[in-house]
Chains A and B, each alone.
Chain A
Amino acid sequence: MNLPFDPLLASIVAPLAVAVAIACGLPKRWSIRLAYVGFALPALLALHAWFHYSAQPQVHGYAFLTRYSTGLDGLGIGLTLGLNGISLPLFVLAGLVGLAAGLYAIQSTAERLKIYLMLLLVMQAGLMGVFASVDVFFFYFFHELALIPTFIMIGIWGGRDRSYAAMKVTIYLTLGAMLSLVGLIALYVKSGATSFDLITLREIIAARPLAATLQHNIFALLMFGFGILVSLWPLHTWAPLGYGAAPSSAAMLHAGVLKKFGLYGLIQIALPLLPLGSAHWAHTLAALAAVGNVLIVGFITMAQRDLKQVIGYSSVMHMGYAFLGVACYSVLGAGGVVLLMVAHGLSVALLFLLATSIYHRTHTFELTEMGGLAQKTPVLAAFFVAATFASIGLPGFANFWGELTIFVALWQFSHCLTVIAISGVIISAIYGLRAAARVFFGPPTDAFAAVAAQHPPADLNWREKIPALILLATLLFIGFWPKSLSAPLNDTLNTVYSAVAGK
C-alpha cells in the first residue's frame, strides 16, 4: 500500500502543525482533541512504515527516500528523509513512545496543559525527524529541536531541584551536542564530500578512506560527544538528576527515545565511516562502559532509595550494555545495540509512566515509605513487575534479545568483559526486584498506611492503562517475534558493515 503523501515528512509535520495550531490560541478542548491526532498520526505512520518496509523499493539501501531543498544546496545540506534497517526500529520506537507519552500527558493534571502538550508535540516532531533523516545535518538539527522542549519542561513542570536540574542537563547536553557537531563537521570537511547526505558520505569514504590519525581524532569527538548524550560514565551525572526532576512524559520521551540519538549516531555514522577510529577507541569505550556504566553505576543504583532515581540510574546502567555492543564493532554487536535501544526505550518509558502513577497513589517516591500497594492496586503491580522483568532482560521481552545478542558478540571481543556484563544482569535483577518488592509487597509502612487510609489508592484507570498497554504489548510482540525488526536490520547491517560482515 502506498500512501498519497510522504509518510516520513507527514510524521514530522503533523505534530509540528498541531503545536503551531495550539500556540495560535486554540481553546483547550480543541487543543486536546487535536493533540490526540498529533500524537497518534506519527505512531500510525511509523507502524505503516514498519509493516510495509520490506515491500518498499530500496534506493541506496533506503526505503521512502525523498529529498527536499531548504536553500542550502550550496553547502550540500538538504532535508533528505528515508529509513533503512537501522533507523526503522528507532523510528517505530519514537512513534510508539511518543503516542504513549502524549496520551499520558493528556490525562495528567499538569498546570498550563496546553503549553505542556505543545512542547511535547515539538519534541515528538524532532524525534521522528532524527530517525527519518538521512542528511547528517538534519539528524543533528532535529535532535536539538527535540532537546529544547526537554529543558523547558524540566524547568517549568519539573519536581524537586528542577531549576538546578534544568541548568545541569542543559549544560551537559549542550557540551555533548557541540562536541558531536564539531565531529560531524570534521567528518564532512575532511572527507572532501560536497554533501551532508549520509549516502554520499558513505560512497566517498568507501572510495577514499580517511587517514588513521584523522579517524582516531574524529571518532574521539563523536564518542565523547555522543557519549555525554547517552550518559557514558563518568559523564552520566546529568541523567538521574534530570530524569528525577523531569515531568513523566518528558522523562519518557527523553530516556526512552531522545537519548538513543547518540548510540544511533555511533551505529549509523561513526562505526561504518570510521572503522580505524572505532578499532582504536574500542577498548577504552568498552572499559568505561563495563566498569563504569555497568558495575559502578549498577552498585550506585542498588543504593538508591528513591524510585525515580532507581529508574534513572538503571537507564544509565543499561546504556553500558549498548556501549559494549558498539565497542564490539561487528554486525552482531550493532544489531544487538539496535534491538536493545528499542527494548530499553519501551521498558524505561513504561517504568517512568508507572512510577508517576505510583506517586499519584503514594504521594512519595521514597521506597522505604511504601509497601503492600499490590493488594490495593493489583493491575498497577502487574504492570510494574512486568516492566521490571523486561528491564532485567527476561526471555519473552524484547530486552532479552538485545542483551543476549550483545553478550554473544562481546564474547568474541573479550571474555573478561562479558563476565562483568553478565554479572551486571544480576545487579539489575537485585535492584529491580527489590524496588518492586518494596513498593508492592510486604506490610505497608505506618506512614503509607496513614496516607492510604485517608485517600484509598485506586487501581490504574483506563487513561493510564492504554499508554502502558501500548508499551507493554510492543515489548512482548518484539520479544516473541524479534524477526520483524531483525530481518531488515540484518540486511542493512550486512551492507553498511560490509568491512566486518564476515566476522
Chain B
Amino acid sequence: MDIPSLQALAASNTWTSILPELMLGCLALLLLVLEIVLPKRLHSALPGVALLGVLALLAGQLLTACCGITEGESFNGLLYHSQEGQLMRVFFLLAALLTGVLGTVCLARQRVAHTEFYHILLVVTAAMMLLVQSNHFVMLFVTLETVTIGLYILVSYFRNSPFSLEAGLKYLIMGALSSAILLFGIVLLYGVGGNPSLPAHTASAMNFDELRAFLAANPHNFLASVGIVLVLSGVAFKIAAFPFQIWVPDVYQGAPTPVTAFLAVASKAAGFLVLLIVARTFSPYAWLLAPVLTVMAAATLLFGSLAALTQHNVKRLMGLSGVSHAGFLLLGVVAAGTQSMAVGAIYFYLFAYLLASFAVFGVMAQVAGPEDADQEISHYAGLAKDRPFLALVLAIGLGSLAGIPPLAGFMGKLFIFIAAFQAGLYGLLAVAVVAVVISIYYYFGWIRAVFFSNWVSPDGEAAPQPARAPVGLMAGLMLGVLALATIFLGFYQGPLGQWLNNR
C-alpha cells in the first residue's frame, strides 16, 4: 500500500466521528479490567473512576460543542452527525453522570456487585448516544436493542428484591414485544421500499433519506402506512405513550431508584429523539402521522395525569407523571410537523426535565429505606423539619416538573405551548392545560406531605418511616447544583435558549 492511499484512508477515517462513544466503551471495559487487576480493597474506588471518566468526557463534549462540529454522514450513511446530536451526547453523558451519583447512594444499601452496574450504565449510554445520531434502520435497531438489553439487566439489578425481579421480567416481556413490533414495521417498510414495481423504489430502504424519497413518491401506499404505524407503536413503548404505557408503574416501582431515574429521563429522551427522527423520515405521510400522534398525545396527557392522581407510592407517581410529561413532549412532536421552533422547545423541555427529575429522584434515593420499591408519600411527612435541604430541593424539582414559574420546567412548557399555538393545535392545548392543573394537584399532595406538619396517611395513622441517613457530600453537591440550575434556567435561558429558538 502506498503513502497517498494510506493518507486517503486516514483522512476518511470515520471512527474519529464516534470518538466519545468509543471512549465511553473503553471506559466501560477499563472498569472490568480494573476490577480483575486491582486488589479487593481498592474496588471501592471504581465508581469514582467511572464518574471521573464520564465527567472528563462531558467536559470534552462541551468544549467541542462550543467550537462547533462538522455536520455530515459517516459510516456510509449509518450515522448522521449534527449540532442536535452533539447536544444529546451532552444530555446522555449528564444523565449517566447523575445516575452514577445516585448509584453510589443506593447501591451502598444493597448486597449487590457495584462495578457491573457502572459498566452496563456506560455501555447503555454509549448506545443511546449512537441511537440518536442514527440515520439507518439497522443502526437504529441495533443500538436500540443494546440500550434495551442493558436496561433489562439494570431494572432487575437488585436481585434480592422480588419487586426488582418482577419489574425486570415485565420490562423484558414488554420490551421484547415492542422490539418485535418495531422490527416488523421496519421489515414492512424495507420490503415495500424495495418493490421494483413502485416508483422511486430503492435497494437501501433502510436508509432514512432513501426511505423518505420513496415515501414521497408513494404518498398513499397501504403497506407503507402499516409499517409506519407499527414503527410508531414500537417507539411509543419506549416513550411510554398511551396505549403502550402499561408497563410503567410496576417497572418504575420495582427498578432500583437510579435505574428508574435513568429510565424516566435518558430512555425517554432517547425514545423522543428516535420519534423525531422517524417523524422527519415519515414526513410525506403527514396525513397519517398527524392524527395518530395527536390522538396519542391527548390520551397520554390525560391518562398520565389521571392515573397519577391516586398513587401513594412516589416511584409509581413519578412513572405516571412521566407518562403525562411524554404527552407534553408528544404535543411538541405534533407541532414539530409544521413548526421548526417546536424541535428546539422539545430539547429545552428535555433538559429542564432532566434537571428536575434527577433532583426529585436524588431526594428519593436519600429518603428511601432498605427496601427500594417501598417508597410511600407518607414517608416524606415532616421531611422539611428533619432535612430542610432535601425538602427544598424536592420542592424545586417538583415545582419545575409541575411547570411553575420561575423554574426551568415552566419555560419548557411555555415553549411547547407557543409552538403548539403556532401550529394551531387548540384542542390539544386545552387538554394540556387540564393536565397541568391536574398535575399541580398530585405534585402538591407530595409537597404537602413534606412541608405541612398536620398530614396523616390515608389509613389514619402515622406510617413507620425508614430512618433518614445524612446526605453525603457528592449527593448533596449534585442536588444543590441541580436545584440551582433549575432556578437559573428558569430566569435566564442565555445561549441555550438563544440557540434553540434561532434554529
Contact = CB atoms under 8 A, between A and B. Distances in A.
A-B complex is real: yes
Interface of A: 70-75, 137, 140-141, 144-145, 148, 152, 155-156, 162-163, 166-167, 170-171, 174-175, 178-179, 181-182, 185-186, 188-189
B493 A71 contact: yes
B406 A141 contact: yes
A71 B498 contact: yes
A193 to B, nearest CB: 12
Nearest to B500: A74
A70 B493 contact: yes
A70 B501 CA distance: 13
Given A71-B495, A74-B497, A144-B410, A182 B417 contact: yes
Interface in B244-299: none
B417 A145 contact: no
Contact of A171 (B440, B455, B491, B493): B440
B454 A179 contact: no
- Which 4 pairs across A and B sit closest by C-beta, in order of nearness? A74-B501, A144-B405, A71-B494, A71-B493
B451 A156 contact: yes
Contact of A163 (B421, B440, B448): B448
Interface string B396-427: 00010000111000100011011001100000
Contacts of A74: 497-498, 501-502
22 contacts: A71-B492, A71-B493, A71-B494, A71-B496, A71-B498, A72-B493, A74-B498, A75-B497, A137-B414, A140-B405, A144-B406, A144-B410, A148-B404, A155-B448, A162-B452, A163-B452, A166-B452, A167-B448, A178-B436, A181-B414, A189-B418, A189-B421
A185 B418 contact: yes
Contacts of B501: 72, 74-75
Nearest to B392: A23
A235 to B, nearest CB: 13
A216 to B, nearest CB: 14
B399 A170 contact: no
Contacts of B491: 70
Contacts of A174: 436-437, 440
B489 to A, nearest CB: 10
B405 A171 contact: no
B494 A189 contact: no
B183 interface: no
Contacts of A71: 492-498
Contacts of B117: none
B184 interface: no
Contacts of B417: 181-182, 185
A25 B498 CA distance: 35
B196 to A, nearest CB: 47
B190 to A, nearest CB: 40
Query: Interface size for chain B: under 10, 10 to 19, 20 to 34, or 35 or more residues?
Result: 20 to 34
B433 A179 contact: yes
Contacts of B421: 182, 185-186, 189
A155 B452 contact: yes
A178 B437 contact: yes
Contact of B418 (A144, A152, A156, A188): A188
Contacts of A73: 498
A385 to B, nearest CB: 37
Contacts of B448: 155, 163, 166-167
Contacts of A155: 448, 451-452
B141 interface: no
A73 B417 CA distance: 17
A179 B436 CA distance: 11
Contacts of A179: 433
Contacts of B405: 140-141, 144-145
Interface in B427-455: 429, 433, 436-437, 440-441, 444-445, 448, 451-452, 454-455
A152 B451 contact: yes
A182 to B, nearest CB: 6
A154 to B, nearest CB: 10
A119 to B, nearest CB: 12
Most A-side CB within 10 Å, residue of B415, B436, B440: B440
Given A75-B497, A178-B437, 19 more contacts: A70-B491, A70-B492, A71-B497, A72-B501, A74-B497, A74-B501, A75-B415, A137-B414, A141-B405, A144-B404, A145-B405, A163-B454, A166-B448, A166-B452, A170-B440, A170-B444, A174-B436, A181-B414, A185-B418
A171 B437 contact: yes
Nearest to A148: B404
Contacts of B451: 152, 155-156
B393 to A, nearest CB: 13
Contacts of B418: 75, 185, 188-189
A166 B451 CA distance: 12
B399 A148 contact: yes
Contacts of A163: 448, 452, 454-455
Nearest to B489: A71
Nearest to B453: A156
A488 to B, nearest CB: 30
A354 to B, nearest CB: 28
B451 to A, nearest CB: 6
A175 B436 CA distance: 8
A145 B399 CA distance: 12
A371 to B, nearest CB: 32
A71 B433 CA distance: 26
B21 to A, nearest CB: 30
Nearest to B430: A182
Contacts of B445: 167
Nearest to B437: A175
A443 to B, nearest CB: 37
B91 to A, nearest CB: 19
Contacts of B492: 70-71
B247 to A, nearest CB: 30
A284 to B, nearest CB: 20
Contacts of B498: 71-74
A145 B491 CA distance: 11
Given A71-B497, A72-B501, A186-B421, A145 B406 contact: yes
B488 to A, nearest CB: 11
Contacts of A181: 414, 417
